[in-house]
Amino acid sequence: MATDWVRLERALVPGLEGVHARRGGGAVLVAVAALFVLSWSYLLWMDWGMRHMDQAASMVLMPRMVDWGAVDLALVFVMWALMMAAMMLPSAVPAILAAGRTRGGAAAFAAGYLLVWVAFSALATLLQWRLLEAGLLTPMMESASQRLSAGLLIAAGLFQLTPVKGRCLARCRSPLGGASSSLRAGLRNGCYCLGSCFALMGLLFATGVMSLPWVFLITTYVAVEKMAARAVWLSRFAGMVLCLWGAFLLIPIR
């Protein structure tokens, strides 16, 4: 009788673990969807504040125009972190679903993936601060230097043509292979995805950090590029377009 119970337990446990894993993965997807909605809601709120500075000035919404302090840096960091979540989560959903096949895998993978973009957001905040202090970025978070814009466009375009871009993109498309845990898989995938598109994110300093049309366009391009594994021409075409755009900005207008 005891032997029969052992056999029954061995038969049921894998199935029960699979059920728990699917439930856990579903809960994580709900959380991811909630974060995505929160992120875009916040960006829309920020966009409204940028276009209604007279009303937003009295709200805990926007950093000061100049002379940032700790509160201003915190506000900009939150903006970048939520913006990266809004831009990168859609293309990460298939990987999160794949990680959800193991119990707790989806949550661990998503945590590792987002941690990379939180770190990037901290660096982007400091860079924006320095550009603002140097007069290369306006208080409205737009480029104040045509040379800066051209340089960012050309740099991003050239990076699109490099083998490093191709290797990082290929690894970004294969999120789970070879990792010893879901957390490490998320961290590694986040690093490869960052390596693949950090230059594209840098374009926001040229087009406007809070330009929602450009945020949406870059988000869409990143997702399409990641999913279109056979369209090797896509990265190269985008790279050439960015280089030509940057070169055009350098042409003196008389």
pLDDT in tens, 69-128: 888 889 899 999 999 999 998 888 888 888 877 667 888 899 999 999 999 999 999 999
pTM value? 0.84
Tokens coding 226: 């990641």
Contact 20, 103 (CB under 8 A): yes
At residue 143, the 3 state secondary structure works out as: strand
Reported confidence tier of residue 144, pLDDT bands at 50, 70, 90: very high
- Count of domains for the chain: 1
> Cβ neighbours of residue 10 under 8 Å, at least 6 residues apart?
none
Residue 253 region by backbone torsions, left for phi larger than 0, else alpha for psi between -120 and 50, else beta: beta
Owning domain of residue 188: 2-250
